[in-house]
Amino acid sequence: MKVLYVFAHPEPKSFNAALNDTALAALKEKGHEVELSDLYAMNFNPVLNVGDFTERKKSDIFKPFFEAIQASKTGAFAPDIKQEMEKVKWADILIFQFPIYFTAMPAIMKGWIDRVLAPGFGFNPVTNSAYETGLFKGKSAMLAFTTGSPKEAYSEGGMHGDIHKHMESVTHCVFEFMGMKVLPSFIVFEASAMKQEKGAEELEKYRKRILEL
């Protein structure tokens, strides 16, 4: 299996970094091929702008949606976008790992989605290819993330609301929209308050989950 692991955390000594290391080791243990996009280490630019396109369909006004459609036909995406697109095309499964910031993924990862899973590449509005007929049909996607608040806070009726519903903006409206099968998320609640023993237990749970993919 070919796995693209997209990781977003700025601290190499963090618990998220330990989750990342655990996953990569488990994937390699099972003999899977792995590509890592460590967004902070790459200094990935999350901001979609005119520089994303080496050729422009319209030079007098910037309409990123239509520029992306054109670039998907001509290959006129910036080199950093092209590199990530090649990883996506290559992969059977995409795993996104990150800490929750304000009930969502970090901006750097959302920016990766905005720039890389572009119109014309991630979906084709001309042919209405979406959901069951999406361009990425046959691929799978999975989220792995940590929260600062306890599980009760991110449950239905909790103060933040159901975390799974928050994530539907990505799992349903991005991944399933593009035809991918969404695997159940791996979640570590209240990660910032964990004792070392609990952290080791969660790492082992994640290792087993990755081995079962």
Query: Which residues have a catalytic role annotated?
Result: 148, 154, 160
List b or e across 101-140, with b for residues whose CB sees 16 or more CB atoms inside 10 angstroms: beeebbebbbbbbbbbbbbbbbbbeeeebeeeebbbeebb
Nearest 5°: the CA angle 200, 205, 206 is 95
- Taking the mean position of all CA atoms in its chain, how far away is CA 118? 13
Q: Can you give the C-alpha Rg of the chain in angstroms?
A: 18
End-to-end CA distance of the chain: 9
Amino acid at 34: V
